[in-house]
């Protein structure tokens, strides 16, 4: 096969936008959690459980986890794209990253919704 | 009164040297020698094997871009007395060295040409010229002044890692210069051309380009405007 340099995958904008939106979600979640933790009546397991099992907290925590994983997917993929040149190695790393992050997302949901 | 200025200069002649080395030297300067280029001219007179590019000596041609004490800049615009000694001169980083301070700019210009740096307008030409309002013309300020010295692109880590795929700050500034030009009719094609994880989106707003630009231009801002246009096209 002729070795040619090819660019023009016609994506990138959506990922860039997703990183901005997920970054905002994570920033909002950080502030929300700091305020809620500062307002905890006591620093014990019961108070922590009550906070984390609240409907809204569950909702935003799940959103935070998804945002983190989407954000991390784009960020880590960019690192592979910058530093790993052989396509086969890069594709393998992309797949491992995606699979690991998907697994983590399931794990987070399981922990969160058990409360 | 003359003064002595110490230099440490990157030297490499592929025909003679097995590897690059740094040469220490001192040069006597006259009071009228105020810019770094004046000193390089004196050094060239002492050792004519020392090679660098230069032409207009007033910051217009962009030939004498080099890495000066770790920061890219034009020798002809840099005051000697503002620099800590020994003044360390290296070729622009990230591009292949041809000899001493001369680099091969092929890759840089390839990226520049890839954005089609000319107005694309297939409408019939008017009798005199294609007019712009003063406001439309205003939008091109801060974009058209680029002298293609490559200080910005060669200070950009994203360009270091992917010079063959990332357009680089100079090319993207030029891309926006034609996107912003109301006489150009190829905006959509230009945005399509940049909608790529490498060509545009390798920019991580590190802003080294803004820091080093000898013409005080802002490629990061231009890149932001390209992304804004993509956003308004997409949503």
Question: Which contiguous run of DSSP H or E holds residue B73?
Answer: strand B71-74
Residue in A12, A16, A19 to test binding to B, most B beta-carbons within 10 Å: A12
Whole-model pTM: value is 0.92
B201: closest CA of chain A, how far (Å): 6
Q: Minimal Cα distance from B192: which residue of A?
A: A10
A74: closest CA of chain B, how far (Å): 10
pLDDT at A2 over 80: no
- Within-domain flag for A8: no
pLDDT at A115 over 80: no
Treating both helix axes as pointing N-terminal to C-terminal, what angle do B219-234 and B168-179 enclose, rounded to 10 degrees?
50
CB B162 within 8 A of CB B180: no
Residues of B with CB under 8 A from a CB of A: 158, 161-162, 164-165, 192-193, 195-202, 204, 227, 230-231, 234
Query: What's residue A1's pLDDT?
Result: 67
Q: Could you tell me if A6 lies within 8 Å of chain B, comparing CB atoms?
A: no
B215: closest CA of chain A, how far (Å): 29
Taking contacts as CB-CB distances below 8 angstroms, the residues of chain B near A8 are: 193, 196, 199
Q: Give B35: exposed, middle or buried? Use CB within 10 Å, 0-12, 13-18, 19+.
A: buried
Task: Please list the ranges in chain B whose pLDDT falls under 70.
Answer: none
B234–A78 C-beta distance less than 8 A: no
Compute the distance between CA of residue B36 and CA of residue B75 in angstroms, rounded to an integer. 5
- DSSP symbols for A2-46: --------S-SHHHHHHHHHHHHHHHHHHHHHHHHHHT-SSSSHH
pLDDT at A10 over 90: no
| pLDDT classification of A114: cutoffs 50, 70, 90 | confident
Domain residue limits at A38: 13-114
Residue in A4, A5, A6, A7 to test binding to B, most B beta-carbons within 10 Å: A7
Task: Show the tokens assigned to A82.
Answer: 């910058």
Task: Show the tokens assigned to A103.
Answer: 């697994």
A17: closest CA of chain B, how far (Å): 8
- Within-domain flag for A77: yes
Compute the distance between CA of residue B11 and CA of residue B19 in angstroms, rounded to an integer. 9
CB B152 within 8 A of CB B62: no
Instruction: For residue B190, count other CB atoms closer than 10 A to its CB.
Output: 19
pLDDT in tens, A51-99: 999 999 999 999 999 999 999 999 999 999 999 999 999 999 999 999 9
- Within-domain flag for A2: no
CA dihedral sign, ordered A7, A11, A15, A16: positive
Bridging pattern class, strands B87-90 and B65-68: antiparallel
- Within-domain flag for A39: yes
Task: Show the tokens assigned to B159.
Answer: 């360009």
Taking contacts as CB-CB distances below 8 angstroms, the residues of chain A near B197 are: 9, 11-12, 15, 78, 81
Q: Which of B98, B93, B235 is nearest to B168 (CA)?
A: B93
CATH number, domain of A72, equals 1.20.1300.10
CB B43 within 8 A of CB B10: no
Interface of A with B in 78-97 (CB under 8 A): 78, 81-83
Residue in B115, B156, B201, B230 to test binding to A, most A beta-carbons within 10 Å: B201
- Within-domain flag for A5: no
| pLDDT classification of A113: cutoffs 50, 70, 90 | confident
- Within-domain flag for A92: yes
Residue in the structure block whose two tokens are 């040619």 = A4
- Within-domain flag for A6: no
Bridging pattern class, strands B87-90 and B3-11: parallel
Q: For A108, phi and psi rounded to 5 degrees?
A: -60, -45
- Within-domain flag for A7: no
Task: Show the tokens assigned to A100.
Answer: 């690991």
Nearest CB neighbour to A16, from listed B162, B193, B201: B201
Domain count, chain A: 1
Query: What's residue A8's pLDDT?
Result: 81
Query: What's residue B114's pLDDT?
Result: 96
């Amino acid at each position: 096969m002729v070795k040619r340099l090819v660019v023009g995958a016609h994506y990138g904008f959506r990922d860039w936008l997703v990183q901005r939106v997920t970054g905002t979600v994570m920033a909002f979640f950080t502030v929300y959690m700091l305020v809620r933790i500062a307002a905890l009546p006591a620093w014990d397991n019961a108070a922590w459980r009550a906070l984390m099992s609240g409907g809204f907290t569950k909702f935003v925590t799940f959103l935070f986890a998804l945002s983190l994983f989407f954000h991390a997917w784009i960020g880590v993929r960019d690192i592979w794209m910058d530093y790993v040149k052989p396509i086969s190695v890069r594709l393998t790393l992309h797949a491992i990253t995606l699979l690991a992050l998907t697994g983590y997302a399931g794990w987070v949901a399981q922990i969160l919704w058990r409360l | 009164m003359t003064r002595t200025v110490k230099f440490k200069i990157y030297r490499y002649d592929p025909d003679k040297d097995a590897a690059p080395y740094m040469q220490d030297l001192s040069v006597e300067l006259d009071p009228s020698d105020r810019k770094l280029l004046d000193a390089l001219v004196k050094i060239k007179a002492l050792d004519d094997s020392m090679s660098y590019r230069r032409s207009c000596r007033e910051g217009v041609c962009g030939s004498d871009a080099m890495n000066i004490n770790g920061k890219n800049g034009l020798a002809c615009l840099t005051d000697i007395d503002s620099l800590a000694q020994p003044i360390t001169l290296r070729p622009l980083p990230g591009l292949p060295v041809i000899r001493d301070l001369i680099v091969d700019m092929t890759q840089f210009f390839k990226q520049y040409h890839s954005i089609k740096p000319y107005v694309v307008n297939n409408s019939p030409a008017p009798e005199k010229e294609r007019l712009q309002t003063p406001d439309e013309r205003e939008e091109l300020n801060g974009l058209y002044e680029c002298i293609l010295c490559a200080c910005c692109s060669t200070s950009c880590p994203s360009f270091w890692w992917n010079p063959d795929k990332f357009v680089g700050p100079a090319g993207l500034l030029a891309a926006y210069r034609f996107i912003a030009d109301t006489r150009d009719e190829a905006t959509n094609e230009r945005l399509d051309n940049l909608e790529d994880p490498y060509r545009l989106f390798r920019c991580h707003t590190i802003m080294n380009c803004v820091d080093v630009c000898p013409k005080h231009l802002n490629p990061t801002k231009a890149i932001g405007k390209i992304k804004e246009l993509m956003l308004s096209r997409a949503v």
